[in-house]
Amino acid sequence: MTDLTELTAVQLVDGYRKGAFSPVEATRAVLERAERIQPEVNAFVRLTGEEALDQARRAEERWRRGEPCGRLDGVPVTVKDILLTRGQPTLRGSRAVSPDGPWDEDAPSVARLREHGAVFVGKTTTPEYGWKGVTDSPLSGVTRNPHDPSRTAGGSSGGAAAAVALGAGPLALGTDGGGSVRIPASFCGIFGLKPTYGRVPLYPASAFGTLAHVGPMTRDAADAALMLDVVGTPDARDWSALGPASGSYTEVLSGGVRGLRVAYSPTLGGQVAVRPAVAGAVRRAVERLAELGAYVTEADPDFTDPVDAFHTLWFSGAARVVQHLRAGQRELLDPGLREIVGAGARYSALDYLAAVDVRMELGRRMGVFHGSYDLLVTPTLPVTAFEAGVEVPKGSGYRRWTGWTPFTYPFNLTQQPAATVPVGTDGDGLPVGLQIVAARHRDDLVLRTAHALYGAETALVTARSAG
């Protein structure tokens, strides 16, 4: 029998259309899987079983009549506990947020999913206010890696990544202010996309400003394209949102990579020490791109590590997000968050504007770079998943999570689309991710390239099985 928890959203919708199975069957299977994995990996803040089954029953009736209400009717989804969801508390990983309502409004991305009939099975874990690259919080504890529960799932969308990886819903909404979609997707072995800033509207506005993106976390690029077609539409509540996309991301997936100019930067010009197992897996995937017809050149973008500017913007945002809290509430915060809040509060307006200058120059440099190259490919992270419950790998010497994420946060500064694709594992069986970056507004190229890599991997597995 078909294991419904292993199917993608595209496959579920196709099955509903053919009458092979129903939204209720799929939702029950996903909820059972979620309940089974929760004690070990801690992916959820809460599961909403009865509400989900009620939504699934209504979707099933619409499919029975041949009148689905949208492109995701009956498909189970999860939402990171940063994004407002009508009828459910959004606690942002914090004991300082009251669960009392009213919770009467959806974030734009959640609203679009609801309009298209998605079934909401639960809210996934996040570090407090999404502040770091791993997922643990005073509210919900530690979220663990689906491949090895002694390791971290990454963050800050760690619960979303673990849920998708373990079959607790094929689609997840995550947020990414410095890598928070791509980091956990890489560690957990799934696909994660940070779209061009503004492609997915955000409301309420993030205290981290225009670093903060909303993006799909899925089993593959085809599901992410379908999800982006749904959530990537304007919303009047976000003044910085982009206008409608010029076409469907799903329809451009088959374009392939032939003729694309790809710059492969294994270490950002020697700035990043990458573990050999990671470097090897990424290089092999880059070779597959060349075999598929891309013009691959080893080339580095022209920038030095912008971490100081990122810290100024990020820490200032953290200070702003908790500014309204009373002294007693601040004592409830994650100690690491309290530390960066203190640093952020000490920056001046001139410090902040100097960081904005660095950001604008970085954006200019990447704009020039993409005049020569359609895509930049790097490792997503220089390491694989390390021990759970810590911000940095033990013995690494890093002070903050940005020490081990140098490939991700630069592209939040530049607002470019960037995705991670699983391309193998290290010697411990832990996933390795490859990052694909394109110029702003070229999300289509990122999705096309990722889809081509998934197709090549499927063909390789099929050939091995036949052999």
For the CA atoms of 400, 401, 407, 410, what is the dihedral angle to 10 degrees?
A: -70
Residue in 305, 231, 245 with CA at minimum distance from that of residue 71: 231
From 80, 123, 132, 194, the catalytic residue: 80
Tell me whether residue 156 is one of the annotated catalytic residues: yes
From 140, 180, 186, 316, the catalytic residue: 180
List Cβ neighbours of 363 (8 Å cut-off, separation of 6 or more).
Answer: 413, 414, 415
Tell me whether residue 80 is one of the annotated catalytic residues: yes
Residue in 71, 63, 85, 76 with CA at minimum distance from that of residue 115: 71
Q: DSSP letter at 27? A: H
CB 139 within 8 A of CB 94: yes
**Alpha carbon of 453 to those of 216, 250, 424: distances in Å?**
18, 16, 12
Distance, CA of 258 to CA of 252 (rounded, Å): 14
CB 268 within 8 A of CB 464: no
Distance, CA of 297 to CA of 263 (rounded, Å): 5
List Cβ neighbours of 390 (8 Å cut-off, separation of 6 or more).
Answer: 134, 152
What are the beta bridge partners of residue 44?
124
From 22, 137, 140, 156, the catalytic residue: 156
CB 376 within 8 A of CB 263: yes
Tell me whether residue 94 is one of the annotated catalytic residues: no
Give the catalytic positions in this structure: 80, 156, 180
